[in-house]
Chains A and B, each alone.
Chain A
Amino acid sequence: MMLTKKDFETDQQVRWCPGCGDYAILATVQKLMPELGIERHNTVFISGIGCSSRFPYYMNTYGMHSIHGRAPAIATGLKATRPELSVWVVTGDGDSLSIGGNHTIHMLRRNVDLKILLFNNRIYGLTKGQYSPTSELGKQTKSTPFGSIDAPLQPARVALGAGGSFVARSVDVEPAHLLATLRRAAAHKGSAFVEILQNCNVFNDGAFEAITDRAQKAQTQLRVEHGKPWVFSEGKKGIRLNAKLQPEVFDIAGPDDLAQAIVHDEKSELLGWILANLGPPDFPTALGVFRAVDRPAFDALINEQEQQVRASKGAGNLEKLLSGNETWTVS
C-alpha cells in the first residue's frame, strides 16, 4: 500500500504560532516521507526543546520530545542499537548550537546515520525572544536591550568543522528546494545535517527576508548543485577565487567568463567551507548541498565490530564469564 502525506499527520492540533515557518517545514517533511518507502513504524523523530522540537508530536511515526539539547545523544543510542530504523533529529539553533552544542559536534564527528533538521530562526522563540547563538552582533532582544555582543555561530561551519559528511542549507519558504534537499539528506548514509532558515514571525520576523524576498532573491541566493558553476543573479554573476583563495563576485558577460566561476564539488571540504561563509553584505547566501562525502557511519561500525568480536571469540558463555580465570574450590 502506497502511503500518502496524510498518513504521516497526527490527530494532534499543531500549536505553532500562525504564520510560523515551521508549518511549511512540517508539510514538506510529511510530503517527503511517503516517497522514501520506509514504513511509519520504522521511522523515529527525536527532538530536544524549543518551538521546532514540538515536531515529533505532529508526525505519525515513533517519536520522542526529549530534553534541551540532548536529542543527538538519545538518537545515537537508539540508532546504535536499532540501526534498521530511520532516525531523524529535529532541533533549533539554541537547542543544537547552545545547550546541545557538544552533542551536535560529537554526533557529526562520529557520523551517526541520523537526519538532522536544524531550524535556524536566529532567536529563542519558546522562551519569548532572547538572542540565540546564531543571532547577529548588535541584535537587540529582551536579554540584550543594548545589543548582542556575542559573535554568532554559522551552523554550517560548525557542522563542517566537526567533520560532517553531509552539510546542506535550505529555507522554509522554498518548498521545492527544501524537498529536494531533504530527499538528498534522507538518501545519505551518515549524519545528514540540514540547516533550514526559518522565519519566526513573532520574535524575529523578517530575519531572512533579504534571502527569501521574491524581488531580491535572485541577487541574494546562490543555489549550488554538484558539478554546476556558482552563478546567481539569473546567470549574470558568478563567484570565483582570487589569487589569495578568497571568493569574489564577478560579472558574467559571456560564456568565457562563466568558466571562471567555481564549479561545485560536494567532495571538496574547502568549497563547502567557502559556501558556509558566504553571505551579506558582499555575497549571496548559499543554499543547497555544500558537502556530501562517504564515510563509515558510527552505527554500522559499532555493529560490525561486535560481529568481528563474535566471530573471533565465539558467542559469550555466561558460566565461563562468571567463573573468571582463577577459581578455587572449598569442600
Chain B
Amino acid sequence: MAVPPSTIPLPVVPRQALPPEDLEAVTIRFCGDSGDGMQLTGLEFTKSSALAGNDLATYPDFPAEIRAPAGTLPGVSGFQVQFSSREIYTPGDAPDVLVCMNPAALKSNLADLEAGGILIVNSGAFTEQNLQKAGYAHNPLEDDSLTKYRTFPVDIQKLTQTALATSGLGNKEITRAKNMFALGLVLWMYSRRLERPIADLKAKFAKAPAIADANIKVLEAGFAYGETAEIFTQKYEVKPAKLAPGRYRNITGNQATALGFVTAAQRSGLRLFLGSYPITPASDILHELSQYKNFGVMTFQAEDEIAGICAAIGAAFGGSLGVTTSSGPGIALKTEAMGLALMLELPLVVCNIQRGGPSTGLPTKTEQADLLQALYGRNGESPVPVIACKTPGDCFETAYEAFRLAVKYMTPVIFLSDGYLANGSEPWPIPSADALPPIPVHFRTEVEGFHPYLRDAATLARSWVKPGTPGLEHRVGGLEKDALTGNVSYDPLNHERQVKTRAAKVASIAQEIPPTKVLGPESGEVLIVGWGSTYGAITQAVKQLHENGRSVAAVHLRYLNPLPPDLPALMRRYRKVLVPELNLGQLVKVLRAETLIDCIPLSKVQGKPFKVAEIVARVEELMVTKLGDAKASRAAAS
C-alpha cells in the first residue's frame, strides 16, 4: 500500500544533479510544538550522522510542560545537533539550519539564526490562529522580515496529507507524521540514506504497522521532495570525522551514568541498588537501570526522595552498592540522610543531575548552581567527596570513579552532572571494562580485634561488615560515636577527634588525584578553570583562541572536593584566572577560599549552556584589559 513519491504533486522539471558541497561542520536545529515530535526527529538525524562517521554533539531543549497549549510559545520544543568532519566539543553556538514547524517555533528561535542561514518553515502551519498564538501581527512569510535568511517555505502539512491521502488514517495520525517529512527533507539535504530511520520507525511502531508505514511514506516523501522540488538547489555533505580509531556508539549523559554504575557493580562483584524518585532531568537513569535486572541491578522507585536515599543506605548497610539519583530539589530533601551515610561511614553515591534553580526553578533547563549545595549543604561538619563529569561520555568514567571512591573510603560521594550532559549525546568510544581501575571490596569477617570504627591506617576508612557475619554484631547510628567502639559518645574531645578524622579521610583522597591536565601553554596570560558541562565550550573556545595566537590555557576539574593538590601552583603560572560557570560564581568562591588566588567569574544563568563565542569574547576582553593595565602601569612609572 506504499504511495509512490511520484503521486505527490511536485514540479517535474528534471534538474541537473549538482555534486554535494563539502562542509566541515553544520549545526541544525529542529523546532516545533512539543507535540510535533521534534525530539524524535533530532534523534534520528543524530543517529544518521553518527553512522555517517561524523563527530557530533546534541542539545535537546524542551519545555517543562509535557504539552503546553498547541502553537504557543511555551510549548516550543527544540533539538540542536552539530555534526562535523573534525573534532567538535559542543552542539554549536547557533544553528546554520533552522527548521520551524510553526510560527511559535520561528518566533522563539529566529534570533539565533545568523543572516544567510537556511530557514525551512512549515508554511502550512502559518494560519491566522497560529500566528496570533505566537504573537505575530503579520505573517512573517509574507513580509520582508525573513529576507536576510535563505528561507524555504514548504507546506509540510499539506504535503504530508497528500502523501497519506490513501492511507486510510485519520487526520490526527496524518498530522502527527509531519515531522518525518522534515526529517526526510533534511536527510536529503545532507546526502544521507533512509535505511536507518526506516528500520527505526518499523521497530518503534512494531505494534502499529499502519502508523509505521505512514511515517515511512512521509519520510520518503520529504526525501523525494528535496530531490525533485526545484527550490533546493544544493545538497551538502559532511565527511566522516577523523576520530581516534575504535568502535563507537552514540550515548547520552544519563545512559553513560547508568552504564558506569552497572560496570562498577560488575567489576566489584556487588549488587547495585538504586533508590530513586522520579525527577527531571534524572529519571532516565532510573528508567535505564530498571532494565538491567539480569545484571543484578535492583531498582526501587521510592515513595519520595528521602526514602530513595534511605533505601540505598539500607542496601549499603547490607553490602550492596547503594546509589540514589535526583536533581537539586530532591537533593535538598536528601541532605539529612547524606549526613547519616557519612556518619555511618557507608559507601553511597548521590547523583545530582542539576537543573535551573532555586526551588522548582527551570526543571528542563541546565545550570551548575548546586555546587555549593553539594560541597556544604548539610548540617554539621560534613565533608563529602564531590566529583563532576564533563561530557556525556565522561559520565561513564565519573560514575564509575564515584563508586570506586565510595567503597575505598567508606563514604557517600556526590556525583554532579546536569541537564545539558544528561540529555545531550556524543559519539563514545566503547570502553573495555577491564581497562578501568579495579574496585576491590573486602567485607570483614575476622572477629579477633574487631571494632566498628577501627580504621585503615592509609585511607582512614572503617571496615565494611555485612549483617549476617557471625561474631561481628554491632550497632551504628547518627549519634556521635566513640572513635573506636562506635558506641554513643558525648565526650567533647572524642567528638572533635571524630570530626577531624572524617574531614581528614575525605581530604586524603587528594593524594590519588592525577596531575591536572593543561590544554595550552604551561604558563601565560589567562588560565580558564572549568568544571562540569562547560568543558565543551571552554575547549572549543581555547582552540579558537590558540588559532588567534592568544596565550590562554584551560584546565577542567573532575574533583571538586578535595581539589587537585597541584591546582594552586598551576593557577599562579598565569596572570589571570577565568572561571566560566552556569551560576553566579560558585567555584570562584571555592577557589578563592581554598587557594587565596583571585579568580574572575564568567557567569551565565539563562538555563542554557555557554556559547563558544561568549567565552572567546570574555578572554579577548581580558587581553585588552591587560594592555590597559600595562599602559596604566607605564603611566604610573613615568
Binding site for B on A (CB under 8 A): 10, 12, 39-42, 44, 46, 49, 56-57, 59-67, 70, 72-82, 84-85, 102-103, 105-106, 302, 305-306, 309-310, 313-316, 318-319, 321-324, 326-331
On whether the beta carbons of B244 and A73 are closer than 8 Å, the reply is no
Q: In chain B between 330 and 389, which residues have their CB closer than 8 angstroms to a CB of chain A?
A: 336-337, 339-340, 344
On whether the beta carbons of B475 and A63 are closer than 8 Å, the reply is yes
Instruction: From A65, A103, A331, give the contact of B477 (CB < 8 A).
Output: A65
Closest CB in chain B relative to A210 CB, distance in Å: 36
Given A81-B271, A316-B292, A323-B430, A330–B307 Cβ distance below 8 Å? Answer: no
**Which one of A39, A75, A309 contacts B294 once the chains associate, using CB atoms below 8 Å?**
A309
Assess whether B438 is interfacial by the CB under 8 Å rule.
no
Within 8 A of A (CB), among B452-499: 466-479, 487-488
CB distance from A111 to the nearest CB of B (A): 14
Cα A46 to Cα B248 in complex, Å, equals 47
| A102, B304: Cβ atoms closer than 8 Å | yes
* Least distance between A14 CB and chain B CB atoms (Å): 12
Contacts of A315 on B, CB cut-off 8 Å? 294-295
Whether B469 pairs with A80 at a CB distance below 8 angstroms is: no
| B296–A306 CB distance below 8 A | yes
Min CB distance A86 to B, Å, is: 10
B246 interface residue, CB < 8 Å from A?
A: yes
B313, A56: Cβ atoms closer than 8 Å = no
> Does B621 belong to the interface (CB within 8 Å)?
no
Binds A, one of B63-71, B113-121, B316-324: B316-324
Q: Give the 4 A-B residue pairs with the shortest CB-CB distance, closest first.
A: A77-B314, A65-B477, A77-B311, A316-B295
Which residues of the partner chain A approach B190 to less than 8 Å between Cβ atoms? Answer: none
Cβ contacts under 8 Å, A82 to chain B? 318-319, 466-468
Is B310 in contact with A66, judged by CB distance below 8 angstroms? Answer: yes
A44 to B472 Cα, complex, angstroms? 12
**Contact, CB under 8 Å: B293 / A64:** no
Contact B53 A330 (CB under 8 A): yes
Bound Cα distance A10, B344 (Å): 20
Q: Which of B50, B293, B431 contacts A328 (CB 8 A)?
A: B50
Structural contact, A318 and B433, CB atoms closer than 8 A? yes
B318 and A85: CB pair below 8 A? yes
Most-contacted residue by chain B among A40, A49, A67, A330 (CB, 10 A):
A330
Would A62 and B245 count as touching, CB distance under 8 A?
Answer: no
Known contacts: A82-B319, A324-B249, A329-B247. The answer to whether A76 contacts B314 by CB under 8 A is yes
Cross-chain contact B433 with A77 (CB below 8 angstroms):
no
In the complex, which residue of chain B has the Cβ closest to the Cβ of A57? B475
Instruction: Please report B residues at the A interface, Cβ cutoff 8 Å.
Output: 47, 50-51, 53, 240, 242-251, 259, 262-263, 266, 271, 273, 275, 292-296, 298, 300, 302-304, 306-308, 310-320, 322, 336-337, 339-340, 344, 430-433, 466-479, 487-488
Q: Determine the chain B residues whose CB is within 8 A of the CB of A318 once the complex forms.
A: 262-263, 266, 295, 433
Residues B295 and A321 in contact, CB atoms below 8 Å apart:
yes
CA distance in complex: A31, B475 (Å): 20
Q: Are B476 and A64 in contact (CB under 8 A)?
A: yes
A47–B298 alpha-carbon span in the complex (Å): 24
- Asked if A73 meets B47 with Cβ closer than 8 Å, knowing A42-B467, A62-B467, A329-B246, the reply is no
User: Assuming the A-B contacts A62-B474, A330-B243, are A322 and B263 also in contact, with contact meaning beta carbons closer than 8 angstroms in the complex?
Assistant: yes
A166, B306: Cα distance in complex, Å:
25
Q: From residue B473, how far is it (CB to closest CB) to chain A in Å? A: 5
Q: How far is the CB of B265 from chain A (nearest CB, A)?
A: 10
Please tell me if the beta carbons of A74 and B311 are within 8 angstroms of each other in the complex.
yes
* B275, A77: Cβ atoms closer than 8 Å: yes
Point out the residue from A10, A70, A80 that lies within 8 Å of B307, measured CB to CB. Answer: A70
| Docked complex Cα distance between A331 and B244 (Å) | 8
Taking CB atoms, residues of chain A closer than 8 Å to B308 are: 73
Nearest CB on B from A236, distance (A): 46
Q: In the bound complex, do residue B336 and residue A67 qualify as a contact, i.e. CB atoms below 8 Å apart? A: yes
Q: Which residue of B lies closest to A319 (CB)?
A: B433
A85 CB contact (under 8 Å) in B249, B432, B468: B468
A-B contact pairs, 27 of them (CB 8 A): A41-B469, A41-B473, A44-B467, A49-B478, A62-B468, A62-B474, A66-B340, A67-B337, A67-B340, A70-B306, A76-B307, A77-B275, A81-B271, A81-B320, A82-B467, A105-B303, A305-B293, A309-B294, A316-B292, A318-B433, A321-B295, A322-B263, A323-B249, A326-B50, A328-B248, A329-B245, A330-B244
- Residues of B near A331 (CB, < 8 A) are 245
Least distance between B524 CB and chain A CB atoms (Å): 33
The answer to whether B295 touches A327, judged by C-beta atoms less than 8 angstroms apart, is no
Are B471 and A41 in touch, CB under 8 angstroms? Answer: yes
A77 touches B322 (CB 8 A): yes
> In the complex, which residue of chain B has the Cβ closest to the Cβ of A105?
B303
Pick the contact of B248 from A64, A321, A330 — CB < 8 Å? A330
Q: Which residues of B contact A81 (CB under 8 A)?
A: 271, 273, 298, 314-315, 318-320
A73-B302, A80-B315 known; 20 other A-B pairs, CB under 8 Å?
A: A41-B469, A56-B475, A64-B477, A65-B476, A65-B478, A66-B340, A70-B306, A72-B307, A73-B306, A77-B317, A78-B317, A78-B318, A82-B467, A82-B468, A316-B294, A321-B262, A322-B263, A324-B430, A326-B51, A327-B249
A103 partner residues in chain B, CB cutoff 8 A: 303, 306-307, 310
A81-B270 Cα distance, complex, nearest whole Å: 11
Taken together as a complex, chains A and B put the C-alpha atoms of A40 and B431 apart, in Å, by 44
Whether B53 and A328, one on each chain, are in contact in the complex, defined by CB atoms closer than 8 angstroms, is yes
Q: How far is the CA of A78 from the CA of B300 in the complex (A)?
A: 12
Report Cα–Cα, A28/B295, bound state, in Å.
42
Q: Is the CB of B311 within 8 A of A80?
A: yes
B298→A326 contact, CB < 8 A:
no
Q: Whole-angstrom distance between the alpha carbons of A12 and B466 in the complex?
A: 22
Residues of B within 8 A of A330 (CB): 53, 240, 242-248
Interface centre among A44, A102, A306, A322 (most CB of B within 10 A): A322
CA distance in complex: A57, B478 (Å): 12
Contact at A321–B292, with CB atoms within 8 Å? yes
Q: Contact: B292 with A64, CB < 8 Å?
A: no
Residues of A within 8 A of B467 (CB): 41-42, 44, 62, 78, 82, 85
Q: Which residues of A contact B251 (CB under 8 A)?
A: 324
Cβ contact within 8 Å between B259 and A74: no
Chain A residues with CB under 8 Å of B317's CB are 64, 74, 77-78
Question: How far is B242's CA from A64's CA once the two chains are assembled, in angstroms?
Answer: 55
Interfacial chain B residues near A42, Cβ < 8 Å: 467-468
Instruction: Point out the residue from B242, B314, B468 that lies within 8 Å of A74, measured CB to CB.
Output: B314
